[in-house]
């Protein structure tokens, strides 16, 4: 009965493709077969710190990570930003929460070895300020984290750290502006932090300012190892 109901609802309200945003073909898939090649996966050689693709396999770090220290330990991203930007924008701003099932399946298939190697106690989605979450209706990082949790068994911890400062959109700022924008933006919400290792989940990694700001607070609270996994990342040199 449940299988019949699921099939009926899927046909009545078809899942949207995360690339073309049309009904997925075939109907029971997570993405249209013809659309999947549009998304460009991050391939080696990668920066050993942030995971960006770098053109020179003789280098260990991208130019940004070679020049600037980060508070997190390391991270990985799934897609190049250019190939996934429009898909992530719909996921983030236009209610396409259903894309998260596809994103999470890709994360586990492509980055599963890295995720398992972290031995994380919890997944921590990057929080939204309460006003922004009310306007948007959901936190896209939280939706993604729950889908990843369902596939990996790693629990989601979304009540440990909060965004207490309403920041301006990061895409409007320079690297220095991003850092200033995020000063005192995050706050630990609990006194009983018992996590040793965490993976921060977010949609896009640009300069790492958001991940760093969270990591600083988490490490000050006693978390020893902090990794991240994001949907997309820019190019490294």
Per residue of the chain (237 residues), what is the pLDDT tens digit? 455 444 544 555 689 999 999 999 998 899 999 999 999 999 999 999 999 999 887 889 999 999 999 999 999 999 999 999 999 999 999 999 999 999 999 999 999 999 999 999 999 999 999 999 999 999 999 999 999 999 999 999 999 999 988 766 655 555 555 556 677 889 999 888 899 999 999 999 998 999 999 999 999 999 999 999 999 998 755
Q: What is the pLDDT of residue 27?
A: 87
Q: What is the pLDDT of residue 185?
A: 85
Instruction: Describe the chain by its helix, strand, coil percentages, rounded to 5.
Output: 40, 15, 45
How far is residue 201's CA from residue 194's CA, in Å, rounded to a whole number? 19
Q: What is the pLDDT of residue 58?
A: 82
Q: What is the pLDDT of residue 54?
A: 92
What confidence tens digit (pLDDT) does each residue in 72-82 have?
999 999 999 99
How far is residue 210's CA from residue 206's CA, in Å, rounded to a whole number? 9
Q: What is the pLDDT of residue 44?
A: 93
Q: What is the pLDDT of residue 4?
A: 47
Which residue segments constitute the domains of the chain, with CATH numbers given? 1-38 (no CATH), 39-233 (3.40.50)
Q: What is the pLDDT of residue 6?
A: 45
What confidence tens digit (pLDDT) does each residue in 99-113 have?
999 999 999 999 999
* Nearest of 102, 109, 83 to residue 15 by alpha carbon: 102
How far is residue 83's CA from residue 77's CA, in Å, rounded to a whole number? 13
**Beta-bridge mates of residue 228:** 75, 200
How far is residue 113's CA from residue 122's CA, in Å, rounded to a whole number? 16
Mode of pairing for the β-strands spanning 74-80 and 225-233: parallel
Q: What is the pLDDT of residue 14?
A: 84
What confidence tens digit (pLDDT) does each residue in 158-198 have?
999 999 887 666 555 555 555 566 778 899 998 888 999 99
Helix ranges restricted to H, the chain: 2-12, 63-67, 81-93, 99-117, 130-136, 140-152, 175-181, 209-220
């Amino acid at each position: 009965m449940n299988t019949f109901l699921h099939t009926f609802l899927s046909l009545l309200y078809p899942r949207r493709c995360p690339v073309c945003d049309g009904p997925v073909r075939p109907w029971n898939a997570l993405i249209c077969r013809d659309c999947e090649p549009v998304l460009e996966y991050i391939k080696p050689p990668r920066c050993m710190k942030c995971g960006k693709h770098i053109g020179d396999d003789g280098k260990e770090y991208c130019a940004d990570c070679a020049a600037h220290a980060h508070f997190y330990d390391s991270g990985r991203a799934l897609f190049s930003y250019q190939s996934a930007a429009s898909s992530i924008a719909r996921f983030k701003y236009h209610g396409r929460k259903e894309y998260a099932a596809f994103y999470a399946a890709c994360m586990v298939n492509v980055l599963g070895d890295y995720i398992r190697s972290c031995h994380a106690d919890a997944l921590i989605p990057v929080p939204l300020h309460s006003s922004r979450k009310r306007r948007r209706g959901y936190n896209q990082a939280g939706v993604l984290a729950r889908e990843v949790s369902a596939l990996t068994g790693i629990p989601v911890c979304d009540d440990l750290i909060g965004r207490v400062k309403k920041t301006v959109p990061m895409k409007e700022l320079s690297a220095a502006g991003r850092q200033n924008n995020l000063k005192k933006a995050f706050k630990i919400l609990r006194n009983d932090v018992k996590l040793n290792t965490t993976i921060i989940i977010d949609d896009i990694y640009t300069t790492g300012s958001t991940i760093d700001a969270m990591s600083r607070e988490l490490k000050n609270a006693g978390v020893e190892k902090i990794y991240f996994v994001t949907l997309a990342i820019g190019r490294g040199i």
